[in-house]
């Protein structure tokens, strides 16, 4: 008799614009990014649950703090089914670099939740998916907004303001997004704290910059709706300049943003928490996107990914 097996996936995400300002009530835009993904494979075995992932390989019960959020989800979902936490193994393969602002932790949780539901032959609703993913994100991030899980789980662009419902909207822009990895882990907590200190020490200037970021996010949404890639690119770069003033960028991010612009990008900026992680650049066609990608790689980017910013956000 063939042993049970379940394979499920989840994609990454990118904050297009609005990071950090969202903490202070301004809007942000996050989009799914299928250029990177997670694949979770669950196989029937005999004995204790074995977990194999980027950070750890061994018994789930002995797993380290780095995978505590994932461990909580695996235990919680299995227990909710009244199933025993034994006789299966979980293998997680990823093309999403961790700690780069691309939704790695949310995607790992979501692909694993999907696989657990299939393995145990249960029906998974979107509400249950987001509920379990949020449990994992709370362990990983402390007080998550939920936007990572919502974008990764729903696989649709979202416009978000703190305390307000997520607003899905369509992107039908004839343009490409290039993501460049600095090779350094982002420092989200430190960056958030740095912005808070900046605002405390210079409240008028700090809040003016935050307000300007919010206005740029609104402009970016209108540019997307108007299918105006050039205007979107300008908004992105202006946002980067402000984020740099707030102390969120660093020399490597600034260098790669500058290189992308020199190579013909319509706009470029850091994405996510900052002080490491990734930057993004907007190109008006695939050929230009490939050229920008090569420019970034030859300028020290550890890796690059390209995805079309079309209606379905599917790479081509």
| CA angle, 190 then 194 then 196, to 5° | 120
Residue 15 shares a structural domain with residue 71:
yes
CATH number of residue 15's parent domain: 3.30.230.10
Would you say 197 and 205 are in contact if contact means Cβ atoms under 8 Å apart? no
> CA 192, CA 194: separation in Å to the nearest integer?
5
> CA 111, CA 41: separation in Å to the nearest integer?
9
136 in a structural domain: yes
pLDDT at position 142, please? 72
Last residue of a domain, one of 147, 167, 187: 167
pLDDT at position 311, please? 56
pLDDT in tens, 135-165: 998 888 776 778 889 999 999 999 999 889 9
79 in a structural domain: yes
Residue 12 shares a structural domain with residue 156:
yes
**The token pair that represents 238 in the structure block:** 């202006």
Q: Coil, strand or helix: which one is 10?
A: strand
The tally of domains found in the chain comes to 2
DSSP 248-283: ---HHHHHHHHHHHHTT-SEEEEESS-SSSEEEEEE
Residue 229 shares a structural domain with residue 114:
no
Catalytic member of 62, 148, 204, 244: 148
Q: Residue 10: give the domain boundaries.
A: 5-167
Beta-carbon contacts of 253 under 8 Å, excluding residues fewer than 6 positions away, are 182, 270, 274, 276, 277, 279
| CA angle, 38 then 152 then 83, to 5° | 65
313 in a structural domain: no
Last residue of a domain, one of 144, 167, 190: 167
pLDDT in tens, 44-102: 999 999 999 988 999 999 999 989 999 999 999 999 999 999 999 999 999 999 889 89
Q: Coil, strand or helix: which one is 26?
A: coil
CA-closest candidate to residue 108, choices 58, 62, 41: 41
pTM for this entry:
0.91
pLDDT at position 2, please? 67
Residue 134 shares a structural domain with residue 152:
yes
Residue 105 shares a structural domain with residue 205:
no
* Interhelix angle 68-80/104-119, nearest 10 degrees: 20
Q: What is the DSSP letter of 182?
A: -
Residue 149 shares a structural domain with residue 206:
no
174 included as an active-site residue: no
Q: Judging by DSSP bridges, how do beta strands 176-181 and 303-308 pair with one another?
A: antiparallel
Last residue of a domain, one of 138, 167, 196: 167
Residue 146 shares a structural domain with residue 13:
yes
């Amino acid at each position: 008799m063939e042993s049970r097996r379940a394979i499920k996936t989840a994609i990454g995400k990118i904050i297009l614009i609005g990071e950090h300002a969202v903490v202070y009530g301004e809007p942000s835009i996050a989009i799914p990014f299928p250029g990177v993904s997670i694949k979770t494979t669950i196989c029937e075995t005999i004995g204790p649950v074995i977990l194999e992932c980027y950070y750890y390989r061994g018994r789930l019960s002995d797993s380290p703090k780095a995978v505590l959020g994932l461990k909580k989800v695996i235990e919680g979902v299995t227990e909710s089914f009244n199933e025993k936490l034994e006789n299966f193994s979980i293998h997680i393969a990823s093309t999403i670099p961790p700690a780069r602002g691309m939704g790695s932790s949310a995607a790992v949780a979501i692909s694993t939740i999907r696989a657990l539901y299939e393995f145990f032959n249960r029906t998974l609703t979107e509400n249950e998916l987001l509920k379990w993913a949020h449990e994992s994100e709370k362990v990983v991030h402390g007080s998550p907004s939920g936007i990572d899980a919502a974008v990764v789980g729903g696989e649709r662009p979202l416009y978000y303001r703190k305390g307000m419902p997520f607003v899905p909207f369509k992107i039908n822009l004839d343009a490409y997004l290039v993501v460049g990895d600095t090779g350094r882990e982002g420092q989200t907590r430190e960056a958030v704290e740095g912005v808070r200190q900046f605002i405390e020490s210079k409240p008028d200037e700090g809040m003016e910059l935050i307000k300007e970021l919010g206005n740029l996010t609104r402009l970016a949404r209108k540019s997307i709706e108007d299918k105006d890639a050039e205007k979107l690119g300008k908004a992105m770069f202006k946002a980067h300049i402000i984020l740099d003033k707030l102390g969120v960028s660093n020399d490597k991010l600034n260098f790669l943003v500058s290189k992308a612009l020199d190579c013909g990008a319509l706009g470029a900026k850091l994405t996510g928490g900052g002080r490491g992680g990734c930057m993004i650049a907007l190109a008006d066609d695939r050929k230009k996107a490939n050229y920008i990608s090569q420019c970034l790689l030859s300028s020290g980017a550890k890796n690059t990914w390209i995805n079309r910013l079309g209606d379905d956000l599917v790479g081509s």
